Amino acid sequence: MHAVLARSTLTPRARLRAGSARASGRRGARGVTLIEVLVVLFILVLILGGMLYGVGAVQRSRLKSSASRVAAAMRAGYARAASTGKRLRLVIDFDNNTLWLEESSSPMLLDTKDLLGTGGADPATEVEKAALAEANRINGGVQVSRPGFSRVARAIGEDTSKLQPGIAFRAVDATHETKPQTKGHAYVYFFGSEAERASVQLKIQSSDDEKDVMSVVIAPLTGKPTIADGPVLVPHPRDDVEASEAEDSGH
């Protein structure tokens, strides 16, 4: 009752000032709420950016670690071929993103015209065996002797080495192939104290950007692998003259 009497005793100007004060208070409350929302959104953007940067850094680290794993396998293959005199090959499995070493005691020369993609070796996969059977059928059943390879136990620490999670093989470019291999099995050969000129490309599995690719390139004369950013292809000599002129920097 007293409150009603107090309001009724206010002059029109006083009531106008009181209403303006209440409206101003409501506008101030709305302004603070909007600022708080903007601050929260800004913090969320910072957190999300940090998370994305962290994931990218982890993926790059795994990519480099996987490239180092391939380089170590190349060194092991070259060293074993040089010490035993046997033919060694590094096998790249695109389907499972794994690699391992195989060896053969049989003599072998790389066949750059081999349609199987094995460089003249005995077929290892069902696809290669089917291709060989078809080639033999076309040639009237004539079978060419091919050296067989068997897996080397614990040559690279384990019988089979797998790439880091989220990392995949992108391509293998070797001189016995007419073009880079991107599926099935690919091979890099080692003969005594010489390696086949080749590069193995790896990528972050979720990315198609060439910036997320690393290549491991092996020098033929020294067997030294080098890790490079981006996709690297190797020269494919058309004849023995071009092959002898191909440079081997040793890096």
pLDDT above 60 for 10: no
* 61 lies in the same domain as 42: no
pLDDT above 90 for 157: no
To the nearest whole number, what is the mean pLDDT of the chain? 81
Distance (Å, whole) CA 205 – CA 213: 10
CB 170 within 8 A of CB 231: yes
What tens digit of pLDDT does each residue of 18-49 get? 555 555 555 544 556 888 777 778 788 877 77
pLDDT at res. 57: 85
Question: Would you say how long the chain is, in residues?
Answer: 251
pLDDT at res. 1: 46
- Residue 124 domain-assigned? no
* 45 lies in the same domain as 64: no
pLDDT at res. 52: 65
Distant-in-sequence, close-in-space partners of 104: CB < 8 Å, separation ≥ 6: 86, 87, 89, 121, 147, 148, 149, 150
* 227 lies in the same domain as 214: yes
pLDDT above 90 for 193: no
What tens digit of pLDDT does each residue of 196-243 get? 999 999 999 999 999 999 999 999 999 999 999 999 999 886 655 555
Mean pLDDT of 167-179: 95
pLDDT at res. 6: 47
* 9 lies in the same domain as 101: no
Distance (Å, whole) CA 152 – CA 100: 8
Distance (Å, whole) CA 59 – CA 198: 25
Distant-in-sequence, close-in-space partners of 234: CB < 8 Å, separation ≥ 6: 173, 174, 175, 197, 198, 199, 217
- Name the residue range of residue 201's domain: 53-111+149-245
CB 231 within 8 A of CB 213: yes
Distance (Å, whole) CA 243 – CA 163: 32
112 confidence band (pLDDT: 50, 70, 90)? confident
For the record, the structure tokens of 4 come out as: 């009603």
* 167 lies in the same domain as 197: yes
* 23 lies in the same domain as 82: no
Specify the amino acid at residue 150.
S
pLDDT at res. 226: 97
- Residue 138 domain-assigned? no
Provide, rounded to the nearest whole percent, the portion of the chain with pLDDT above 70: 72
CB 229 within 8 A of CB 235: no
pLDDT above 70 for 141: no
Domains: count for the chain: 2
Residue 198's Cβ-side half-sphere holds a number of Cα atoms within 13 Å equal to 30
Distance (Å, whole) CA 224 – CA 217: 8
